[in-house]
Structures are given as structure tokens and as C-alpha cells.
Amino acid sequence: MDKKEEMIEKYLEYAKENGFQLNPDKKTVERVLDGLLRNEEKTGQKYCPCRRISGNQEEDAKKICPCAFHKEEIAKDGKCYCGLFTK
């Protein structure tokens, strides 16, 4: 199993446990996963690709996927900002 497949399984399980789902649009999921992997390669962390990293580790820790903001965004907008998770 490659890294993306492992991430998909992990995020599917996480979404199910939390009452939402992984976005059914595979292109969106692929785009987000590519961004997460690029950020991990560059910084060592899977920072959400839709969030700007400041360089302040304490502040940026909230932006590691699944980020600190996704549940509120899903409840309010039906999806998280980057679109990885939906209602």
C-alpha cells in the first residue's frame, strides 16, 4: 500500500469516527493529499495545504491535518476549508 492509500484509510476512519466523511470528489482528495505530502516533505509535518504556515511551531501546530478548525468549518459550511472532509 502506498502512502496516499494509507492516508486515505486513516482519514476515512477518522471521518467515520467523527460523524463526517471524506470528500467523495476523488480529485479534491488527491489534490489535498498531494499538498499534505509536499508539506510533510518540506517541513516534516502534514500541514493543511490551504493554511499559511508562519514558522511559529506553536501557532502552526493547529494547522496539522486534521487541523484545529475543520470540525467547526464542517458544521458551518458543510466541508472543511480545503475540502478534504464533508458532512
pTM flag (> 0.85):
yes
- Residue 14 belongs to a domain: no
- Residue 72 belongs to a domain: yes
pLDDT of residue 32: 97
Q: Which CATH number covers residue 76? A: 3.90.460.10
Q: How many domains does the chain have?
A: 1
- Residue 55 belongs to a domain: yes
Residues in the chain with pLDDT values less than 70: 1
pLDDT of residue 1: 65
pLDDT of residue 23: 97
Distance between CA atoms of residues 55 and 76, nearest Å = 28
- Residue 18 belongs to a domain: no
Q: Domain of residue 55: give its range.
A: 27-86
- Residue 12 belongs to a domain: no
CB contact at 8 A, 24 and 86: yes
- Residue 81 belongs to a domain: yes
CB contact at 8 A, 38 and 49: yes
- Residue 46 belongs to a domain: yes
